[in-house]
Structure 1
């Protein structure tokens, strides 16, 4: 049965119908019938027209991805497996070759182009990651905020690493802060001209590559570190890490000088360090050596202190250990007094006071 109805179409819809009009020799009714057939087919597997349109728009990207899979450029990987890989490689830095393969520097001139490029490759690879970049100068920014949304925190960290490498290499931007939320990761960047663009920026290593040096060392000396970690585990970490020269002095019954070792690790002279910085570095280093059981520090201005917990019984050992640590604090120049208890050594500092008695060092 043929039913005639009048319809109104704007020019924009007539232009969309032009391919079908040409295919039907200008017959509008035939073109509309073809349109209805296409819409009916599209709606078979979708709940509404918007969902169907979105699916059809994604088809070219999916077809392009299928081509790269067929030619071996990409592979299909289980999502759970990929998340496991991202989680287990978190804290390690990717190679520059991988960054350049995913983010082509020759296609990007400014930050707006970078944002568009990142969102495009995310769509092409079906990553479902959204990137937003905010900065005042898109060509040569002094600072920038990159917001990576959707996906998981492990996927976002990996993606953030690619972006950070690119900005470091081509815009000399380093990471200042990283804010991780449930559905987004915000990374603030600032200009860093003191580090060569060919080197890893310190902020990138701190926030995203904090395990990189460790993992490379494990890869290069696997047998040594495997045995060492096994030994530590079996002995429940009741082992001490001490410089060979210091051990030799301790073995003779004398007290070695720990200052040079601490300065090498801190890359700063002990005498030039502020007392709070020294106490923080002191705690970090000597907890790692397992020389004592625990170290507590108080950084309250004017009443700084260090409380060291140990389980040594021999008074000579305790006395030598106290002198060993005292050498560091004397080098810093802040007067202090020492109190010894059965399993505790306490150093109390008096900034602004001069040593005038035997109780102060």
Structure 2
């Protein structure tokens, strides 16, 4: 048994109060339990920072991999709306372009590297995202929508590779959406590079009965049946 003297502030005692109470006021037993817990967390997560990332993820919804892939497939080439983007804590906390790397904290295994001409008021930004193609595509879309909305940047180009995606954006006009023409250029660039199905999907969502009837009337009957009764066509 090793005996050591430690100094604790009143605030520290409040933090461990429940564990001390659990151990019937035995501070030594409480400290041993805390040490066991810290050892477990370090072996599982490696650091407090990594454990905090997990805590942020559990505020949302944990999806099985198959369900996540389904979600990414069916939202592909559709832009985020303002409510969806505003619900992401990592987005709301961004104060500078370099903070964009924090978006990796939403739970997707994507590494983000940011290069900008100005951290606070950029006119040109290049972002490299490394990870699975579907994951980097989704995160790149989130970043593009954020930079377009908050800094008036248009998508200049997107380079897509198996292991990484590179996003290049630049400012249209002299300031944040300086004119209606600049706004249209920014919006059109998002639709071109990340939202080819966006207008179509919005139209279908607004008029589901009309488009459902239209598709049934014009599509090949076999295709309609395949979507209605997929099990039969396995």
- TM value normalised by structure 1: 0.45
CA displacement, residues 137-173 of structure 1 (integer Å, 9 cap, x when unaligned) = 22222211111111x3222222112111110111111
Moved beyond 4 Å, runs of 4+:
103-106, 194-200
- The DSSP-based 3-state class of the residue aligned with 2:46 is helix
Query: 1:222 Cα shift?
Result: 2.3
Check conservation: 1:142, 1:191, Cα contact below 8 A. yes
CA displacement, residues 42-81 of structure 1 (integer Å, 9 cap, x when unaligned) = 5xx9xxxxx938534433433x24xx74xxx422221210
- The DSSP-based 3-state class of the residue aligned with 1:190 is strand
CA displacement, residues 74-127 of structure 1 (integer Å, 9 cap, x when unaligned) = 222212101111111101111112212215666333212333x324xx2xx432
The Cα RMSD (Å) is 3.6
Q: Find the aligned partners of 2:6 and 2:184 in 1 and give their Cα distance.
A: 57
- TM value normalised by structure 2: 0.66
Query: 1:23 Cα shift?
Result: 4.2
Q: Find the aligned partners of 2:122 and 2:92 in 1 and give their Cα distance.
A: 18
Q: Find the aligned partners of 2:86 and 2:191 in 1 and give their Cα distance.
A: 19
1:216 paired with 2:208, answer no
Q: Find the aligned partners of 2:64 and 2:44 in 1 and give their Cα distance.
A: 27
- The DSSP-based 3-state class of the residue aligned with 2:209 is helix
The structure 2 residue matched to 1:127, chosen from 86, 108, 116, is 108
Higher relative contact order (CA 8 A, sep 6+): 2
Q: Match for residue 61 of structure 1?
A: 53
Q: Quickly say closer, same or farther: Cα 1:153–1:98, change in 2 above 3 A.
A: same
Query: 1:199 Cα shift?
Result: 9.0
Ranges in structure 1 where 5+ consecutive residues have no aligned partner: 1-19, 25-33, 46-50, 237-361
The structure 2 residue matched to 1:228, chosen from 202, 214, 226, is 214
Q: Match for residue 296 of structure 1?
A: none
Q: Find the aligned partners of 1:206 and 1:88 in 2 and give their Cα distance.
A: 17
Kindly tell me the number of residue pairs found equivalent between the two proteins: 190
Q: Match for residue 153 of structure 2?
A: 173
Q: Match for residue 74 of structure 1?
A: 60
Q: Find the aligned partners of 1:93 and 1:81 in 2 and give their Cα distance.
A: 20
Q: Quickly say closer, same or farther: Cα 1:216–1:200, change in 2 above 3 A.
A: farther
Q: How does 1:1-361 map to 2 (within 5 A)?
A: 21-23=4-6, 52=43, 54-57=45-48, 58-62=50-54, 64-65=55-56, 69=58, 73-102=59-88, 107-115=93-101, 117-119=102-104, 122=105, 125-150=106-131, 152-193=132-173, 194=179, 195=181, 201-234=187-220
Q: Which has the larger radius of gyration?
A: 1
Check conservation: 2:156, 2:169, Cα contact below 8 A. yes
Structure with the bigger percentage of helix: 2
Check conservation: 1:148, 1:186, Cα contact below 8 A. yes
Q: Find the aligned partners of 2:213 and 2:90 in 1 and give their Cα distance.
A: 42
- The DSSP-based 3-state class of the residue aligned with 1:201 is helix
Q: Find the aligned partners of 2:62 and 2:128 in 1 and give their Cα distance.
A: 27
Q: Find the aligned partners of 1:144 and 1:213 in 2 and give their Cα distance.
A: 26
- The DSSP-based 3-state class of the residue aligned with 2:162 is coil
- The DSSP-based 3-state class of the residue aligned with 1:109 is coil
